[in-house]
Structure 1
Amino acid sequence: MSDKQVFQDEYFTVLVDERRGIVRTIRSSAPFTSLEELEGIFTRLGESLDALGRSRYGLLADLRAGPGRNDPEFEAIMEQRHRPRWIGGFRRVGVLVRSTVGVMQIQRHARSDGVERMISKDEDELLKYLTQGG
């Protein structure tokens, strides 16, 4: 694997594959303990992604290990502040999920935040999408 780790904390690992032009954010299974802590978590993640130069890369957001959470307060703060900080500015975005329920939840996010992305349980399909021109 030609991925280079550029960031890691309790919640996210960021890997870069320069050859394919893909940044991979991998969500850990650690639950967020409070809404207040999200600010720091997504600031650190966002800064690490900014440092790479987002527009040069496709983003693969691997959410398979992440605990599901869809309470309204969490959803609202993610949509308004943190998801754009995470996925904004990349050439293309692919989201890797574990289940059909995950696909449906991310489709709902895409409708509400307007960021185009491919959502799949198939990593190869997403990698193909992220490395296509366009």
Structure 2
Amino acid sequence: MDRLSPAPKLTPAPKPVWQNDHYAVLVDEPMGVVWNVRTSHPFASVEELDAVKAALCLFLDGLGRSRYALLVDVRAAPGRNDPSWEAAMVRIRPRWFRGFRRIGVLVQSVVGALQIQRYARQDGIERLITSDEAALLRYLTEEG
């Protein structure tokens, strides 16, 4: 079963505002956090990845990114790191992550954390990577 809505422990559940087979976007206005929750549904191709991320980024643009921190929950994401996938993600991540006050990535495993850390080094975009949801929410809602 796909995890389409996170179960935050610090506030009432964020409100779902956009969804497709691969992502759900939820907004927690009181906390100022936008959730991008990855489902377990695999992408059929890099072209599908590009199209889905373009739609996701367009939606995020409309939210007013600077008002929010971004929490990306990839715990359900199927692992993938073939060369065409990696090249696509290098193109996509800067547009996806730009403009948010802070970025945090919620991972399930050490392997997932290592992959996201490698991405962060490649991108030069700071983000907290952890499997501790409460700690991630604290980081994303800190002032400064």
TM-score, structure 2 length as denominator? 0.90
Q: Alignment partner for residue 114 of structure 2, among 84, 96, 104?
A: 104
Alpha-carbon offset, residue 3 of structure 1: 1.3
Aligned residue number for residue 137 of structure 2: 127
Contact 2:67 2:100 in 1 (8 A): yes
Match of 1:46 among 33, 38, 57: 57
Is 1:3–2:18 an aligned residue pair?
Answer: no
1:74 Cα shift? 0.6
Q: Per-residue displacement from partner, 1:20-56 (whole Å, max 9, x unpaired)?
A: 0000000000001001112210111001111110011
Question: Could you state the TM-score of these two structures normalised by the residue count of structure 1?
Answer: 0.96
Moved over 3 A (4+): none
* RMSD (Å), alpha carbons: 0.8
SS, match of residue 77 in structure 1:
helix
Unaligned 5+ segments in structure 1 are none
Deviations 1:62-108 (A, max 9, x none): 0000001011111111112x112222210000000000011100000
Aligned residues of 1:42 and 1:85 also touching (Cα < 8 A): no
Q: Distance in 1 between matches of 2:103 and 2:52?
A: 20
Does the 8 Å contact 1:26/1:62 carry over to 2? Answer: yes
Identity in percent: 56
2:67 equivalent among 56, 60, 69: 56
Match of residue 38, structure 2, among 27, 32, 51: 27
